[in-house]
Structure 1
Amino acid sequence: MNRPEAKSLAQARLSRARAPLAAAVSAAALALAALTPATAHAASAPALAAPPADCPSGALCLFSERDFGGDRLPLSSLTGGGTCVSLVDHGWAGRVESAVNTHTTGAAVLFPGDDCLGGPYQVAAGAGVADLGGFVPLSAWVPGRTA
C-alpha cells in the first residue's frame, strides 16, 4: 500500500521541480510576444527630401490619403517632454494613411491603441511614411519642442 503513495510523492516532487522551469519559459514567451508587435513596425521611415509645404516645422502631420494627400491633421506638443494625442478624440480614428514628422531631433510614434498603447510605428525626426499600409493608428506620441 505504501508503494502507490511513494509513486505519487515522486510525481509531486517532479511536478514541483518543473514548475519554476515552466514559469520561466512562460515568462520568456510573454516577453517575446510583447516585443514582437513593437519590432514589426520599428523600422524608421526614410528621411524626406522636403516635407510637404502644408506641414509646419516641429509638428507631426497626419494625412487622410497616401503620399501626404487629402485632409491634414497637424499635431504638436506644448510641453518639453512630449504628449500623447488620442486620434479617436479628434475624429481621426481609422483615417490616417500617411504621416510626416518635421521635428529635427525627436521621433514621433503612432500606436494602434488609444492612449498610446500597443505595438508602435515610429516616424523618425525629419522623415515621413507615404503609406502606412494596414497599420491603423488610434493615438500618437508627439515629441516636445526643443529649446
Structure 2
Amino acid sequence: MSRSTGSTVPRRRRWSALFAVGAATAALVGTAAPAAAGPANSAAAGNCPFSATLCLFDQTSFGGARFAVKSVVPGGTCVSLNDSGWGNRARSAINTASRSAALFSNDDCLGGPYQVAPNASLSDLGSFRPQSVWVS
C-alpha cells in the first residue's frame, strides 16, 4: 500500500515557497567552540539577526559568507542547497527558530538528519557537508 504525502509539488520545486537570503560577510567570531550544539550566544546571534531562520556559514565559528533560509509554508519545507550553490559549503550553523532544523548529506532531505536544535548554534560541522536542509 502506498501513501501520498499530500503534495504534488516536488520538494526541489518548493523553492518559490521559501524566503532565502544570501549575503557575504567578513566577520569572524572568537575561537572555535566544541562541535556540540549550544545555545545561540549573543556573538553568534549577531551573525544571524533574522527571526525563525536557519543561517549557514561557509567558515567555522559563523564566519565568511552567510546563507539564510526560513520556511513560509506551515509545517516546513526542504531546501536543496545544491540548487542555491551552497551544496558542500556550510561549515557552521545558527538556528533562530523555535523548532529544530535538519541538515542532510543528500539532496531532497534524504538520509539521516544532522539536527540543529531550536535557538541553538553549531560552530563547527566537522566533516559533515549538507546538500539540503529542512526548515519549519
Q: TM-score, normalization: structure 1?
A: 0.65
SS for the counterpart of 2:115 is strand
Q: Which residue is 2:127 aligned to?
A: 134
Q: Alignment identity in percent?
A: 51
- 1:125 and 2:136 matched: no
Bigger Cα Rg: 1
**Mapped contact 1:52–1:68 kept (Cα < 8 A):** no
Aligned match for 1:85, one of 76, 79, 84:
79
**Mapped contact 1:101–1:123 kept (Cα < 8 A):** yes
Q: What does the per-residue CA deviation read over 1:103-145, in whole Å, with 9 as the maximum and x for residues that have no partner?
A: 1x200000000000111100000001000000010000001xx
Deviation at 1:46, TM superposition (A): 1.5
Q: Which residue is 1:5 aligned to?
A: none
C-alpha separation in 1, matches of 2:70 and 2:128: 21
Q: Which residue is 1:47 aligned to?
A: 39
SS for the counterpart of 1:76 is strand
Q: What does the per-residue CA deviation read over 1:51-71, in whole Å, with 9 as the maximum and x for residues that have no partner?
A: 432411110000000000000
C-alpha separation in 2, matches of 1:75 and 1:84: 10
Matches within 5 A, 1:15-54: 45-50=37-42, 51-54=44-47
The structure in which a higher percent of residues are helix is: 1
C-alpha separation in 2, matches of 1:52 and 1:69: 12
Question: CA RMSD for the aligned pairs?
Answer: 1.5
- 1:74 and 2:68 matched: yes
Q: TM-score, normalization: structure 2?
A: 0.70
Deviation at 1:79, TM superposition (A): 1.1
C-alpha separation in 2, matches of 1:128 and 1:118: 22
C-alpha separation in 2, matches of 1:73 and 1:90: 9
The structure in which a higher percent of residues are strand is: 2
Q: Which residue is 2:94 aligned to?
A: 100
Which runs of no fewer than 5 residues in structure 1 stay unpaired? 1-43
Could you list the structure 1 runs, at least 4 aligned residues long, displaced by more than 6 angstroms after superposition. none
